[in-house]
Amino acid sequence: MSYEFEVSDGELRVILGWMHSMIWQTPVASQELVSHRDFSDFKNYIHPEDWEVIMQAAIQAEWKLQVEGHKYFINQSLPYEISMAEALESWKRLVHGPVCVAIYEMGLEKEFPGKSEDSLVLSVIHHWHQLKEGKGGTVSALEAVLSYGSLFAPTDDSRFDFQLRKSFFYSWHPRHQKDLAESARQG
């Protein structure tokens, strides 16, 4: 029997990564999975009532990977190794908390009514990581939320609204005022 319901490529990759790690007992980053088209029929064999259970398990596995990655990077700069409990507290304070606050301050959750809170937060965290890699690590959670909304909000009007907010953010944020003054002198 086949069931029709929406699932994003990212959600499918998270689920497949979790399933891979459960079956083969080896962790795999969801980004390392083969393309979505190779698994296009996968979702049709899961009953919609079971989907939430599978998604929640996959999201929990992804949260664990997030905290383990955070722990790894913290331990790179310390002469001792922090515990998973310490890494979790640090991750909540430095990653999860700021992203959640920014999502609700900007109303991003209203733009994705069909997406779970956990799934949206993970999507923004992944986007934030990509932005930091591209800009050398100087990106705030608020910038990541504004960027995510300007790129992925479901309607043109919503994307435009987030683009305006992003432009306004860059025009008043103290860190960027120096860059704007420099640009005005050069240009």
Give the 3-state secondary structure of 84-98. HHHHHHHHHHHHHHH
Q: Are residues 43 and 75 in the same domain?
A: yes
Q: Are residues 25 and 4 in the same domain?
A: yes
Q: Are residues 177 and 87 in the same domain?
A: yes
Q: What percent of the chain has pLDDT over 70?
A: 62
Q: Are residues 165 and 135 in the same domain?
A: yes
173: left (phi over 0), alpha (psi -120 to 50) or beta: beta
Q: pLDDT class for 6, splitting at 50, 70, 90? A: low
Q: Could you say which of 79, 114, 149 is where a domain stops? A: 79
Q: Could you say which of 79, 96, 118 is where a domain stops? A: 79
Q: Are residues 103 and 181 in the same domain?
A: yes
Number of structural domains the chain divides into: 2
Give the model confidence (pLDDT) of 159-179 as tens digits.
Answer: 888 888 887 776 665 555 555
Query: Residue 62: which domain range?
Result: 1-79
Q: What percent of the chain has pLDDT over 90?
A: 32
Q: Are residues 47 and 103 in the same domain?
A: no
Rg (CA), the chain: 19
**Higher-confidence position of 120 and 172:** 120
pTM of this prediction? Answer: 0.67
Give the model confidence (pLDDT) of 80-118 as tens digits.
Answer: 999 999 999 999 999 999 999 999 999 999 998 878 888
Q: Are residues 69 and 87 in the same domain?
A: no
Q: Check if the beta carbon of residue 160 is closer than 8 Å to that of residue 180.
A: no
Check whether 155 has a pLDDT greater than 60. Answer: yes
Q: Could you say which of 55, 79, 103 is where a domain stops? A: 79
